[in-house]
Each structure stands twice: as C-alpha cells, then as structure tokens.
Structure 1
Amino acid sequence: MIRTIRAKFILGFFVIFTVFFLILNQWVTRNIEAGNRSTISDSLIDLKKNSNNYIRQSFLTHHFTSDEIYFEQIAEDMGTDLQHTVSDGVGMYSLAGELLYTSDKSIFKAGGDDLTAAMQGKTAYTIAMINGEVSILYAYPVVVNGTKVGIIRFAKDFTPLYEQSRAMKRTIFFIALAVFTAAFLFSYILSRHVTVPLVKLMQASNEVKDGNLHVRIAFKRKDEIGSLATNFSSMIEKLREQFLTIEKDRDRLEELINHRKRFFDNVTHELKTPLTTIMGYSEIILMNGAKDPVIFQKGMGHIMDESKRLHDMVLRLLEMSKASEGANNFERIDAACILRDVSESMAIKAKRYKKTIHCKASHDLFVYGQSDRLRQLFINLLDNAIKYSSAYSEIVVEAHLDAQAVKIMVTNEGETISPDNLKKIFEPYYRAGSVVNEEASAGLGLSISKSIVDEHQGLIRITSNNGQTSVQIELSFMEAERK
C-alpha cells in the first residue's frame, strides 16, 4: 500500500510538471513568435516610410507630374539609390507587375503573394525559411500625390533575429528543464522522506499484530511523522504495561486458586480427622464405655477436644464468609478495655504453651466500632502470636494514644517472616512458615483481622526482622462525651 502511495506521489508530480513544462514551452514559443512579427512589422514600416520619402523628393526635384511613365523611366536610378541606402535587395515593378529593376534577379525573378497583394493596392510581406536562414519579401504600391505610380519590393534578411529567438528558446527550455528536474528530484526525495517512515510504521504495526510488543520506533524528527512515531511507541509501551498487569493478575489468580485448593484440601482433611476420632471413640464408648470407666473418660475427653477443635474451625469459616459484609451497629467503645480482657483470657492458652502475655494498655482509648469484631481481632492476633512465638518467650501487647489515633501493637519472638511472605500474609488461605502445635492453621486469622480493621477504617501492617514479629494497628480515636 505504501509503495502505491509513493508511486502515486511521484506520478502526480511528474504529470503536473510535465503539463506545466509543455504549457510554458508553448507560451514562450508563441510570445517569441509574436515578438518577432512585431519587430519585423516595425522594421518594414520604417523601411516603407524612408523609401516613400525618397521617391517623393525625387519627383519634386525633377518637377515631374505624378504619373506612371516617369516611375518606369527612373525605376533603375531609384532602385540603385534605395539599394545603397537600405542595404537590402530592391525590386521595382510597374503597376501590372512587370519587373523594371532588380538588385538580385535570383530573388525577384519570381512573383509571390506579397507582389500579388501590392498589385491589388495592398501592403504585404512573405516569410521564407530555407536552411535556417529567414528572409522577408516586402511589397507595397508607391503612391505620389494620391496616385499609384508603381510597386517597390524589398528583400530583407531577418536570420539574426530568428537565431536570437531560437537561442532564447533553447535557454528557456534548458532552464525550465533544469527546474523541472530539480523539482522532480525534490518531489522524489520528499516522497521518500514521507513514505519511508510510514513503511517502518507499517512493519512495526505488523509485528505488534503478531504479538511483538518490544518493537520500538525512534525518528529524530520534529514534524507530524515524528509525533506519530512517538505516540505509536507510547501506545506500545502502554499496551505492554497492560499485558504485564494482566499477566500478573493472571498469576495472582492462579496462585489464589491454588491457595483455595490447598485450603479446601486442608479443611477436608482437618474436618475428616476430628470426625473420624469422634466416630471412633463414640463406637468404643458404645461398646465398652459402661463397663470401663477409664475408657469412658478418655473417650469423652477426646470427643470434647475434637468437638471443640471442629467448632473453632467452623467458626473461622463463618468469620471468613462474613468478612465482606458491611459494618453495622457501630458505637463508641473502649478498645483498651477489650484488649486487656482478651489478653487476660488468652494468657491461659499461652501458659499451656509455656509462654506469657504482658499487656500495657492505656485507659480510655475510645474508638467507633463493634466490640465483638474488635474482640475477634485481638483474639486472632494473640492466637497467632501464641502459635508462632518461641517457647518460654513473652508476648508484648501495647496500646496508647498518638496524635488522635489509637495505636495497638502485638509483638512476639520467633521465626523471622521473609519479605515475600509479608507481601502475601493478609491474603486468604495463605500460611507463612511452618507451625508445629496441636492445632493446625487454616490461614484465615490474619485475613479476617485485616477485614475487621478495614471495616473500622483503620490501618494494619506487619514487620518482621531479627527474630521479632510485630503487628501494628491504628484506629481513629473518639474523644469522650461531655456530660
């Protein structure tokens, strides 16, 4: 397509300049011819005036009347004198066209259209071009005192005039040809200057169409084509960024699907295990429980533990399903009071794992929220801290007011979480590191915690380095109501 545009471009310029060249050449030819004829006419008019003046003086000098006989008698003398005066060939004729005198018989022996016109009382001339030479035969009737007495015929050479005209035409022709050639070359270069970048743009667009988004076009031009190339490159860059974003989202989606699959696999296994234990001990108790109190107590203990474990797992799943629901029944509550209460109750579980909880919470840390959701938040954070902290370590819980924000921090000592895991730690079903305890983690605690903080329009972040992990929460402070 671009080659066709280039061909049309060049063909159009060629046709335009060719037509212009032909018109110019024709116009110059006509104007030069018109100028030559005007020059010839002026020259012949002057020649006629001079010769008429001489003849009148000749008639007046000899005191002859104006008759035809006298003209025939002095024709030779007048012809000789005129030939020397005008330096041109001269022929003297009677009114009937009879040759009376001639300075060159080879020129005047034959008649012509000019002589015929003169015999009819008209002034006329004919142009003869032989072997590049141009001569004029000019004839007119001689009138003395209103009477025609004879005919004078001149032969005048205008070859230099026509040679000058031909030289002028050749000069104009070559100048026009040079201008035409220069304009055509400029048009060709201009067409390449325009179409070559378009060809590259077309090739680049074909590569993009085939999936190559790394193609780049760089034209060091400040015109419209340069702007087009820059916009094209910017468009490709944005497309590449969009595709990279799509690929990342696709990878994240695949990863999320894998997490969900692992989660459901784990949940299936975790639900199956306590159910199997419950069913097994139930059968043992039914068979031997009444006869053996030890087996009865042991079986009931396992059934209670597994039932509690199953109950906690179901509650976590329900919490996860409610995480996307909007906040309802918000009220002014004391977050510090709830935190101290949860820390006290979770200290019992921590003691079972040979760990301690130390709570340092200021008083009257009021926030706008739901007490049960904040309690669930603090339970999840402390539960995670207990699971992931080292044995015989202390879990520090702090809460204080800082610049109209209630800041809560839960810090524990344990395995450092890698930066890659920190980026994904709030994702549902994601579990960082490994935990060995009596309760397996389903990877929902931190995801639920983040959803609770988001409901309260707060901020939550986790840092982990040098074997110490800290969860930091910020909630908007609500001043106490005045009485």
Structure 2
Amino acid sequence: MKIKFKFTLAISIILIAFSLILNILIRQVLVYNMENSISRSMEDIMKSSREYVKYRLMVNDKLSDDDILKNDASYISKYISLNYESNSKVMDMQGNILNNDDSNESMGGESKLIANAKKGEAVVKIKYIKDNVQGDMVFPVYINSRYLGIIYLNKSYSDILVTYKNTINTITIIQIIILVIILATSFLITAKITKPVSDLTNAVKKVGEGIYDINIRVNSKDEVGILSMEFINMKEKICNQINTIKNEKEKVEKLEKARRDFFNNVTHELKTPLTAISGYAELLLEGIVTDSDFKNRALERIYSESERLHSLVLELIDISKGISFIEEDVEDIDMKLLISEICDDMSIKAKKYSLEIEQKVSKGTIPGRINKIRELLINILDNAIKYSVGSSPILIKTYIKENFYIIEVVNKGELIPGEVYNNIFQPFTKGSDVREDSRGLGLYICSEIVRMHNGKISIENGEIITANIELPLSGNNLETSL
C-alpha cells in the first residue's frame, strides 16, 4: 500500500472516530437539554395548577377544602387538559381518582409515581414511545399546611422530539459533509506531501535497474527536498563513475589492441631484414654460390639489411624513451631561433627534391626540452619533404594565440587514405606510396613529444596537408611520468 493511502486511511480512522464521539456527545447534550426543557415545562404546569386549585378554594369558601377538591375534580382536570394540552387526573391522598370521567381508568403504570406523591414529593418521569416523547408528572396539592390530594399530568412533547431529531439529522449531515471535505483535502495534501517520496522511490528503482537518465524536481527545502538533492548528487556521482569506468575500459581495450598491433608490427619489421640476412648468410656459408658478383650483392644486401635493422632498433629505443621518458633539463626555448636553425638544416634535403622551405616565424619562448622539440620539428619537416607533390614550397609559419605557440607546416600533397589518416598517430602507420623506406614511427614519436609538453598536434587532410602543433607558453606539466 502506498504511503499516501496509509496516511489517508489513518487520518480517516481518526476523523471518523472523532466524528462519532462528537456526534454522540452532541446527541447526549441535546437529549439532556430536551429533557430539561420538558421538566421545566411540567414544573410550570404544576405551579399553575396549584394556583388554580387555590383560586377554586377561595371562590368556594363555603365548602371544606376536601369537599371542594372532590366537587371540582372534573373541572380542575378539564381545565388543566385544555389549557396545557395534556391528560390529567385528580386523586385524593390515597390515590383514588376523583374526576368522574376517568374514574375507571387504571393508574397501575404510575403507581410508583403516586407512591412518591403520597410522601409529599413532586416527581417527573420522561418516557419515549416510538416516535413520541411524553412527560408524566405527579405532585401533591399542598394548601393551608395540609395535603389535599394528588394531581397526575401526562403531556406529549412530540414537537420537541421532532425539533431534536431535525437538529441531530442536520448536525449529522453537516458532520458528514465536513468529514468528506476534510478527507478529500487531507488526501490531496498527503498526495502532494508524499509525491516527492514516491518520485524518489521510483527514481531509486530505476537507478537500481541501471537507468540513470532520470530527473527529479525539488521544490522544497525540507527533509524530503534535502534527501532528493542528495540522491541527485549521488546519482550524478554514480553516473560519472560509470562513465569513467567505461572510458577507462575503452582506453584499456584500445591500449591492448595497440599493444598487440605494435608487437605484431615489430615482429614483422624485425623478421623481414633478419630473413634476408639469414638467407644470404646461409648461402655464403654453405659455399653453394661461386659467382663473385652474387657474393658481392649478397654482402651488400646483408649490410643494407643490417643497417635497416639497426635503424629500426634505434627507432624502437626512441619510442621506448617517448613512453618512459629519460629526464632532460627543462629550459626556455627561443622558438624562432630553433626553427630557423632546423629549416636551414632541412633545406639541404629539400633541395634534393627540388623543394624550398619558406619561413614566417614569429618570436616566442616556451619552457621545454630542446632536444625533443628539435626532434619533433625535424620529423614534421621530413614528412612534409617526403610526401610533397610537385615543386610548391613548404611553408612553416608560427604565431601566438591564447597563451599557445602555434606552429603550422603546410605542403602540397596527395589526399591521405582514410584508413591511414584515422590511425596516423599510431605506431607503424604508413602509406603505400612513400619515397623512402619508412616504418611509420615518426608521427607516433611526434605525438608523444607533444603530449609530454602538454600540447596538441593534428593533421589537416586534403591536397594541402597542414600539420598543426600547439605548445603552451606556460603551465607545462613536464614532471609527469608518461
């Protein structure tokens, strides 16, 4: 059962119980007032009747008091009945009925009342008969210091009972209406109060099911509102942790794939020259080949493949240095001076390809490791030279933007294939139309050097190839172990 129904049920039980108790108390108060009203009415009749009997005694002063009561009993009875809309009987002190019209009527039901009247007591009895209420009263006639007789009254108070019932019905209806209004209001208020709790419960269930794309509106600053805010913070932290775990998992998977590819490529690159060296060496050792020209070619091939293997080993060492960086002093590097020196050196190679290097270099100083920055720029320019098409000059320009020293190396080339471009900074990535023997490690080393200096590197693909390098002028985290 939902909490709002529990609250509503509890409030309903309390209100219904309170309404019933209140209704019973009101009924008792009204009955008490009604009976008091009946008693007062009959007391008034008693007083008036006594006065009338005294009046009759004064008018008929020739007769004794006892004789007057006997002679005027019927008249007194009719007077009381007509004036007070009641039934009455006049009796002597022994309880004998004196008015002739009712002389044969039994008074058995009022015997107890008459017995009290004989003792000089006035007694009122209220009795309920079906849809009517009647008042019985018996009182002695006490005049001139002596009891002359007893008068019995019976009067119907149905009009008072009707008023009482109408009042009770009205009060009950009002109570029911008020109860319904209170219950409806309490239900709405309870629903409003418990809605955040219900929303929070549903949200907890969804989070338990792994659904985190949920929103909770917090419109209050009470305990429920604070709990909702804490839940939202907890959910966001869980989301962030899960996203972090997913990202780390993807990174691990990517690194694992890169590791497998790296070692597969290394194995392949090492196996190729070793196979050639081993094959030619085996031929020479076994003396199968006697041709001196072939022997010379074999020796030259063994030498060239050895050099190739040596270069590959050196590049692998460089990669190892890039991954686990050997400490080098950090210094302020004059980038304009360094780039000018490198361009002058690389111009010699560019001329072999009928190319020129143009410079538009601005002043700038960055903190860094000069040998690594030099290696970075040489690799970028070397790629621009090797992959340029035609005789268009290679442009290197620099400028400062938002606390970064920006280096752009632009050359005209051919569109880089998508498969190569998407993995261009991965080790052993190379195209099929290179001018020189390449193992696809240069740009990978460049990316590692840039990352060491907290910079960014990217390649813009197209007929015009642009290498973009961003190196921060300040805030380098060069002590980070990579």
TM category (shorter chain) comes to: 0.7 to 0.9
Give, in angstroms, the shift of residue 106 of structure 1.
Answer: 7.3
What is the CA–CA distance in structure 2 between the aligned matches of 1:61 and 1:422, rounded to whole Å?
141
Contact conserved, 1:89 with 1:103, CA < 8 A, in 2?
Answer: no
SS in 2 for 1:112: helix
Equivalents in 2 of 1:268, 1:50: separation in Å?
135
1:28 to 26, 29, 36: 26
Aligned 8 A contact 2:390 2:412 in 1: no
2:301 matches 1:307: no
1:52 maps to: 50
The Cα shift of 1:34 comes to 0.7
Amino acid at match of 2:378: I
Cα deviation, 1:331-365, whole Å, max 9, x if unaligned, reads 3444444434434444455556x353415365976
Structure-2 separation of matches of 1:8 and 1:474: 66
Superposed CA offset, 1:344-397 (max 9, x none): 444455556x35341536597654333321221122212322343336554333
> What do residues 168-196 of structure 1 show as CA deviations (whole Å, max 9, x unaligned)?
22333344344445555666777888889
Question: For the Cα contact (< 8 Å) 1:113–1:126, is it kept in 2?
Answer: no
Deviation at residue 109 of structure 1 after TM alignment: 3.8
Q: SS of the residue aligned with 1:127?
A: strand
Aligned amino acid, residue 471 of structure 1: N
2:253 matches 1:262: no
> Quick one: distance in 1 between partners of 2:327 and 2:92?
135
Q: 1:317 — aligned with what? A: 316
Distance of 2:305 and 2:100 partners within structure 1: 152
Deviates more, 1:178-187 or 1:405-414: 178-187
Cα displacement (A) at 1:267: 1.1
Q: Is the 8 A contact 1:217 1:230 kept in 2?
A: no
List aligned pairs for 1:288-437, cutoff 5 A.
294-295=293-294, 297-324=296-323, 325=325, 328-347=328-347, 349-350=349-350, 354-360=353-359, 366-390=365-389, 392=391, 394-398=393-397, 407-417=406-416, 425-426=424-425, 428-429=426-427, 431=429, 434-437=432-435
1:263-313 CA deviation, whole Å, 9 max, x = no partner? 221111111112223334444555679987755654444344333322332
Alpha carbons 2:410, 2:464 under 8 Å: kept: no
In structure 2, the CA distance between the partners of 1:158 and 1:400, relative to structure 1 (3 Å rule), is closer
RMSD: 4.6
Query: Does the 8 Å contact 1:336/1:361 carry over to 2?
Result: no
Q: Which amino acid aligns with 1:467?
A: I
- Taking every aligned residue pair, what percent have the same amino acid on both sides? 29
- Determine the C-alpha separation between the residues in 2 that align with 1:454 and 1:267: 23
Partners of 1:62 and 1:390 in 2: how far apart? 158
> What does residue range 57-72 of structure 1 map to in structure 2 within 5 Å?
57-63=55-61, 68=66, 71-72=69-70
1:429 counterpart letter in structure 2: P
**Distance in 1 between residues matched to 2:361 and 2:195, nearest whole Å:** 75
Q: Which amino acid letter does the alignment assign opposite residue 267 of structure 2?
A: T
Q: Give the CA deviation at 1:400.
A: 6.6
- Distance in 2, Cα, partners of 1:92 & 1:401: 131
2:134 matched to 1:142? no
For 1:101 and 1:21, locate their aligned partners in 2 and report how far apart those are by CA, in whole Å: 52
Cα distance in 2 for partners of 1:297, 1:346 equals 34
CA distance in 1, matches of 2:92, 2:166: 41
227-236 vs 203-212, which moves further: 227-236
Deviation at 1:43, TM superposition (A): 0.4
Q: How far apart, CA to CA, are the structure 1 residues paired with 2:269 and 2:347?
A: 26
Write the distance in 2 (CA, Å) between the matches of 1:129 and 1:399: 115
Q: What TM-score, normalized to structure 2?
A: 0.77
Q: What letter matches 1:169 in structure 2?
A: I
Match of 2:447 among 450, 472, 480: 450
Alignment of structure 1 residues 440-479 onto 2, 5 Å: 440-442=438-440, 444-474=441-471, 476=473
C-alpha distance 78-393 of structure 1, shift in aligned 2 (>3 A):
closer
C-alpha distance in structure 1 between counterparts of 2:50 and 2:155, whole Å: 17
- The answer on 1:96 being equivalent to 2:94 is yes
What is the Cα deviation at residue 158 of structure 1? 1.1
Distance of 1:82 and 1:150 partners within structure 2: 15
| Structure 1 residues 310 and 251: CA distance shift in structure 2, 3 A | same
Aligned partner letter, 1:372: N
- Return closer, same or farther for 1:289/1:384 CA change in 2, 3 Å cut-off: farther
Alpha-carbon distance between aligned partners in 1 of 2:420 and 2:312, rounded to the nearest angstrom: 23
Answer yes or no: is the 8 Å Cα contact 1:289–1:295 preserved in 2: no
Residue 51 of structure 1, CA deviation: 1.6
Q: In structure 2, the residue corresponding to 1:441 is in which secondary structure?
A: coil
Which moves more between the two structures, 129-138 or 33-42? 129-138
**Residues 51 and 82 in structure 1, CA contact (< 8 A), matched pair in contact too:** yes
1:132-281 map, 5 Å: 132-181=131-180, 209-210=208-209, 250-251=249-250, 253-281=252-280
Distance, in Å, in 1 between the alignment partners of 2:104 and 2:200 is 78
For 2:98, what is the secondary structure of its paired residue? Answer: strand
Three-state SS of the structure 2 residue aligned to 1:156 is strand
Mean Cα deviation higher: 282-291 or 129-138? 282-291
Q: Is the 8 A contact 1:79 1:90 kept in 2?
A: yes
* Paired residues of 1:80 and 1:103 also in contact (CA < 8 A): no
Q: Specify the code of the residue in structure 1 equivalent to 2:329.
A: N
Specify the alignment match of 1:117 in structure 2: 116
Q: Between 137-146 and 202-211, report the one with greater CA deviation.
A: 202-211
Structure 2 CA distance, aligned partners of 1:12 and 1:107?
60
Would the aligned equivalents of 1:355 and 1:386 in 2 still touch at CA under 8 Å? Answer: no
One-letter identity of the residue aligned with 2:467: S
Offset at residue 117 of structure 1 (A):
1.4
> Secondary structure of the equivalent of 1:429?
coil
The 1:366/1:11 distance shift into structure 2, 3 A limit, reads closer
Task: Find the counterpart in structure 1 of residue 480 from structure 2.
Answer: none
Structure 1 pair 234–366 and aligned structure 2 pair: CA distance change class (3 A): closer
Q: Distance in 2 between matches of 1:84 and 1:363?
A: 131
- Between the aligned partners of 1:334 and 1:192, the Cα distance in structure 2 is 72
Partners of 2:201 and 2:404 in 1: how far apart? 59
Match of 1:129, SS? strand
How many residue pairs are counted as aligned between the two chains?
A: 470
Displacement of 1:39 in angstroms is 0.8
Contact 2:19-2:175 within 8 A present in 1 as well:
yes
Farther-moved stretch of structure 1 (52-61 vs 196-205): 196-205
In structure 2, the residue matched to 1:480 is none
Amino acid at match of 2:316: L
CA offsets 1:5-28 (integer angstroms, 9 cap, x no match):
566456435533432342233123
Question: Is the CA contact 1:90–1:153 (under 8 Å) kept in the aligned structure 2?
Answer: yes
* TM-score computed with the length of structure 1 as normaliser: 0.77
Shift of 1:35: 1.5
